[in-house]
Structure 1
């Protein structure tokens, strides 16, 4: 009986995997996908078309991720096509570092401080701007993506 249940579960897994095969393949950031976009990070994409500027980066709506599926942005929980998250680390050159889209922390040389500082509502971490937190448009003017494109924990 146990063997029968195992085979049943295995068959279900294979069936689901074949339905979402494109999702289970390793897609890396900044590569054009079958849906004609490239996810630049987990929540932003640009178009793979000679008629659209490659510098145009579009963010998915809040609570959605960039996918390799037909619908570019889908609710969190859908498999993101790109999960590469590049966040700066304390390298001794800056007293602060972004630790998410909306938070930053102090740096003590190469060590991250304990206190997490949250940006005001509707602003995003931008240490490179010299203002620490800026509105979305200003943040994306300075960089093609956020300095640390990760959800705050």
Structure 2
């Protein structure tokens, strides 16, 4: 039955291709970049801009026009983009024999470990979906039937590299450490006094998985947010102030 549904779906290949909803990417539905589960930035022309906005208490960042919605109130078409309803994780082995490692590549799983010595490619115009593997026993799915099958690409990166398995640091700096880091970055980066906010890598994390949002206040203190980059873009790139999949020069 599962394979029959997949075959029938191919008939509908004239349907529009659905873009995956990914954490830390600009969403087409509402022009929002979910920084994490409870904060976001706005987007113009698929690029995030402006300061980090925190969602109200008990709400999460979604693809809804309202952006922040209570998890219990999510409509069928709405997704907790950086949370549990965001779908299967990229390059992560769970209870399946295979896992997606890029938009159109997959690898074998050995218990909970990705066997990345052999990476397999889906056919042209197919995407890799761990959700499709779970539902229809086929990890590669024609892009044109995503809407019909109600599945999406598991990964947002176009090509797999071993950097996607890196994990962000779990050590959270104190308020004093964050303030000190913002002050140091202001000097090092020569941030103009009229600049209200900026992003900077957190130097104590030499793996480049974390960064800081620094916003000026009327006092000498900073309003700061300690942020992490997640798979499949686990590194913070200081030149673009964005999370990227390739490790920047100088990161351990």
Shorter-chain TM-score bucket reads 0.3 to 0.5
- The TM-score normalised by the length of structure 1 is 0.41
Could you say which structure has the higher strand fraction? 2
- The TM-score normalised by the length of structure 2 is 0.27
